[in-house]
């Protein structure tokens, strides 16, 4: 509510960028890290959080990573999601200011909505209003030969196609940055993200070519090194030993460049 | 409650990793579950960290907490969900995995569970559904859940420490008023939720969706949420929404709204008699609107306060019951009240002199003559009153009984119509007892005694004549007639 009121007070159309992806793909960590880098004036960007609630996500992510832990799982309940509202711009005179609204949605909720539309209507509503979309795909899993990232991304793109494109022959114009997350597991994808996608996410690539006008692949990773342990239930637990963000800003920059046109 | 079985479809919602997916979703379900039902279950089920922690729990040592939810599905069926922790979250991102077993059943089967979802929950626990199945077959069978006698038992519950009288009446009033209420409670959410729900008339409960022991979520949007959350965070979430936040852990008790139904429920709550309350409120009432509820509340209040109610009022309660039209279970409760009033009145009339009893005699006769049911209700009172009158003087009793003797056209009601023959016998016995005593007295009385009748009786001849008009063929009257020489009535 506060977010809407603040956005309205700016007298500009808010620019919603939606981060989507499967459960445990790294949406929270990526978004938290991105916002933190923007608010630390990385590259020539500047981002000002509008409201303390907007800082919660980056605060949470950075605090957990500093403690060598991944942040807790995002709950499916919509009111448990972190909603962030930042004013972002390039640091030069007369640069356009973007009112960025970026919710950190639960992967399970996205999956449920994709599997059975209208389960979480807020997701559809957000996607319909989105100026740009960031689709995270687990490069580590894809590189290891799992078909799951490819299939899930394919379903998501098909859903987006259904939601955002009204005419069958029309291709979707909203920019979609396909972010190959956890790329530190498959370092080769930093060299050629598109080539990596063609090899390991072939179904997704074909879908993009067929139905999307504006899309690009980016490789990204947040963690420099991982340690592993087990919990009391014998689950293997990864521990981020140090933070080494790589390729975080590029997808954002690309989307802004598309919006600026 | 008699033992029965409940036909249910089932769905398990939890977080596991499979080759086709990861995270929270319905991992197994019965074939009978419809797509729109699955959507609602997915939306309403608790996910990561959604089980409340009690005030005595620490993050390192989670208590064996349970959560529950009950809500209607778009198909009209009802869902009861039982949630528990099922080990550590497999992704290693902290917290416990939440496991929820959902049972979906037809609304028409709800009365068989006494309109109480907690009975279904106890039956689920008895059936072993508290043990998480993390590798179930993807298709679950339709379940015939045994609703046992022990599952049907409502536990004794002390509400006072968790939810004072003002708070609980306030919450119940809001629920009956179809408002949405979130209540901040430190512990024992399920017990308190059951006690609160029991305060709602049975037929209304299918519409009272609730969650207990689950962190509040606007997405679930149940009518009643009992949880332990940060009050400020919850208040912030519901800003601008038609929801009330009630925090008994801080602040002053609100002034409780008053109504006959609320005072009836509160009396049971304050005496920790949740089982008794459940027996009374879980009936298939016909009218559960505000007027109907108040009427029911008044009846139950009158039953419970019968010993403190004055005699005239109790008699008017019986008379009013006889005048009420017969409407479903409400008539049974009114009959219960009439029987209770009768019981209390019998006790009082046992010890009454005729001088005291005579002031109520006209009302008693009216009840007696009203119907077969009236005779059954009035009979023991009449017997005691006439005994008191006989103790005064047999002529006084005869004069009083004459008012009963006038034949009336009786209209039997329901089950009472069947006992018409019984009441005729009762009627005859009462009259004959009085007349026999009068005959005994008359046969043994001296002439002087016969001429000086007590009280208002003008003369024995006159009294016998009036009796003969009412009972022309009564052999006992013939005995008296012979003694006093009253004319025969053909």
Q: Does B39 touch chain A (CB under 8 A)?
A: yes
Q: What residues of B are in contact with residue A80 (Cβ under 8 Å)?
A: 217
Rounded alpha-carbon distances, angstroms, from residue B463 to B358, B435, B451: 18, 11, 12
Neighbours of A249 (CB within 10 A): 19
pLDDT tens per residue across span B281-296: 999 999 999 999 999 9
pLDDT tens per residue across span B11-26: 999 999 888 788 899 9
Question: Do B50 and A237 lie within an 8 Å CB cutoff?
Answer: no
Q: Which domains does chain A have, with CATH numbers?
A: 2-259 (3.40.50.300)
Residue B490 confidence (pLDDT): 45
**Residue B177 pLDDT grade (very low, low, confident, very high; cuts 50, 70, 90):** very high
**Residue B468 pLDDT grade (very low, low, confident, very high; cuts 50, 70, 90):** confident
Q: CB neighbours of B123 closer than 8 A, spacing ≥ 6?
A: B6, B145, B146, B147, B148, B151
**Residue B161 pLDDT grade (very low, low, confident, very high; cuts 50, 70, 90):** confident
Q: Which of B38, B47, B134, B225 should we substitute to test contact with A (largest number of A Cβ atoms within 10 Å)?
A: B47
CA distance B88 to chain A (A): 6
Residue B63 confidence (pLDDT): 62
**Residue B417 pLDDT grade (very low, low, confident, very high; cuts 50, 70, 90):** very low
Residue A94 confidence (pLDDT): 76
The per-residue b/e assignment along A74-85, b for 16 or more CB within 10 angstroms, e otherwise, is: bbbbbbbbbbbb
Q: Which of A28, A79, A154, A223 should we substitute to test contact with B (largest number of B Cβ atoms within 10 Å)?
A: A79
- What is the pTM for the complete model shown? 0.85
* CA–CA distance, B186 with B189 (Å, rounded to integer): 8
Checking phi first, is residue A11 left (phi over 0); if not, alpha (psi -120 to 50) or beta? left
Residue B376 confidence (pLDDT): 87
Q: Does B239 touch chain A (CB under 8 A)?
A: yes
Select the highest-mean-pLDDT range: A118-132, B101-115, B207-221. Answer: B101-115
* CA–CA distance, B18 with B90 (Å, rounded to integer): 11
Residues B47 and B98: beta-carbon distance below 8 Å: yes
Residue B87 confidence (pLDDT): 86
Residues B364 and B385: beta-carbon distance below 8 Å: yes
Question: Do B19 and A148 lie within an 8 Å CB cutoff?
Answer: yes
Residues in chain A predicted with pLDDT less than 50, given as ranges, are none
Q: Are strands B143-147 and B139-140 parallel, antiparallel or unpaired?
A: unpaired
Residue A5 confidence (pLDDT): 60
Residues B78 and B255: beta-carbon distance below 8 Å: no
CA distance A88 to chain B (A): 26
């Amino acid at each position: 509510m506060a977010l809407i009121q603040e956005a309205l007070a700016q007298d500009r159309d808010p620019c919603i960028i939606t981060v989507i992806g499967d459960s445990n793909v790294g949406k929270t960590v990526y978004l938290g890290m991105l916002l933190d880098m923007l608010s630390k004036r990385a590259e020539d960007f500047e981002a000002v959080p509008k409201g303390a609630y907007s800082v919660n996500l980056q605060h949470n992510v950075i605090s957990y990573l500093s403690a060598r832990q991944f942040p807790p799982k995002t709950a499916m309940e919509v009111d448990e999601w972190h909603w962030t509202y930042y004013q972002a711009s390039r640091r030069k005179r007369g640069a356009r200011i973007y009112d960025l609204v970026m919710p950190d949605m639960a992967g399970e909720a996205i999956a449920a909505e994709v599997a059975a539309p209208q389960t979480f209507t807020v997701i559809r509503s957000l996607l319909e209003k989105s100026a740009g979309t960031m689709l995270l795909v687990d490069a580590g899993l894809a590189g290891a030969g799992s078909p799951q990232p490819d299939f899930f991304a394919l379903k998501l793109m098909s859903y987006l196609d259904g939601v955002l494109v009204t005419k069958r022959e029309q291709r979707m114009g909203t920019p979609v940055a396909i972010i190959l997350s956890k790329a530190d597991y498959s370092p080769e994808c930093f060299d050629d993200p598109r080539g990596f996608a063609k090899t390991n996410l072939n179904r997704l690539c074909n879908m993009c070519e067929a139905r999307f006008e504006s899309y690009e692949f980016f490789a990204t990773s947040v963690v420099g090194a991982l340690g592993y342990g087990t919990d009391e239930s014998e689950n293997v637990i990864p521990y981020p030993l140090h933070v080494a963000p790589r390729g975080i800003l590029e997808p954002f920059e690309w989307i802004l460049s598309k919006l600026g046109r | 409650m008699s033992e029965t079985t409940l036909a249910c479809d089932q769905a398990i919602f939890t977080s596991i990793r499979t080759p086709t997916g990861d995270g929270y979703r319905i991992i197994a379900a019965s074939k009978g579950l419809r797509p729109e039902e699955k959507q609602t279950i997915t939306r309403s089920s608790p996910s990561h960290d959604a089980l409340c922690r009690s005030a005595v729990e620490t993050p390192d040592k989670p208590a064996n907490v349970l959560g529950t939810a009950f809500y209607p599905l778009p198909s009209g069926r009802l869902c009861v969900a039982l949630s528990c922790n099922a080990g550590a979250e497999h992704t290693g991102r902290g917290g416990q995995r939440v496991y929820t077993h959902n049972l979906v059943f037809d609304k028409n089967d709800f009365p068989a569970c006494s309109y109480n979802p907690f009975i279904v929950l106890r039956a689920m626990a008895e059936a072993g559904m508290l043990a998480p199945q993390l590798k179930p077959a993807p298709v679950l069978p339709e379940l015939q859940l045994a609703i046992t006698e022990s599952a049907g038992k409502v536990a004794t519950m002390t509400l006072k420490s968790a939810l004072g009288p003002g708070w609980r009446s306030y919450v119940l009033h809001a629920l009956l008023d179809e408002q949405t209420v979130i209540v901040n409670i430190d512990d024992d959410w399920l017990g308190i939720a059951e006690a609160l729900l029991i305060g709602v008339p049975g037929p209304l409960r299918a519409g009272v969706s609730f969650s207990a022991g689950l962190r509040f979520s606007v997405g679930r949007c149940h009518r009643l949420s009992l949880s332990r959350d940060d009050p400020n965070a919850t208040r912030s979430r519901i800003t601008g929404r038609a929801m009330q936040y009630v925090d008994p852990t801080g602040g002053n008790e609100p002034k409780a709204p008053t109504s006959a139904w609320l005072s009836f429920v509160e009396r049971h709550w304050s005496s920790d008699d949740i089982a008794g309350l459940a027996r009374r409120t879980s009936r298939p009432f016909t009218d559960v609107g505000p007027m109907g509820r108040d009427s029911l509340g008044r009846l139950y209040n009158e039953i419970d306060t019968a010993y403190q109610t004055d005699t005239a009022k109790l008699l008017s309660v019986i008379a009013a019951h006889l005048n009420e039209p017969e409407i479903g279970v409400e008539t049974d409760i009114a009959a219960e009240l009439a029987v209770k009033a009768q019981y209390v009145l019998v006790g009082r009339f046992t010890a009454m002199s005729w001088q005291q009893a005579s002031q109520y005699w006209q009302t008693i006769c009216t009840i007696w003559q009203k119907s077969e049911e009236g005779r059954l209700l009035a009979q023991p009172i009449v017997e005691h009153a006439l005994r008191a009158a006989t103790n005064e003087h047999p002529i006084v009793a005869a004069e009083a009984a004459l008012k009963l003797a006038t034949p009336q056209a009786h209209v039997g009601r329901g089950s009472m119509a069947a006992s018409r023959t019984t009441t005729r016998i009762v009627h005859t016995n009462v009259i004959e007892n009085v007349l026999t005593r009068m005959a005994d007295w008359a046969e043994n009385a001296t002439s002087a005694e016969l001429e000086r009748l007590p009280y208002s009786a003008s003369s024995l001849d006159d009294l016998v004549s009036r009796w003969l008009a009412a009972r022309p063929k009564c052999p006992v009257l013939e005995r008296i007639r012979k003694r006093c020489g009253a004319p025969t009535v053909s």
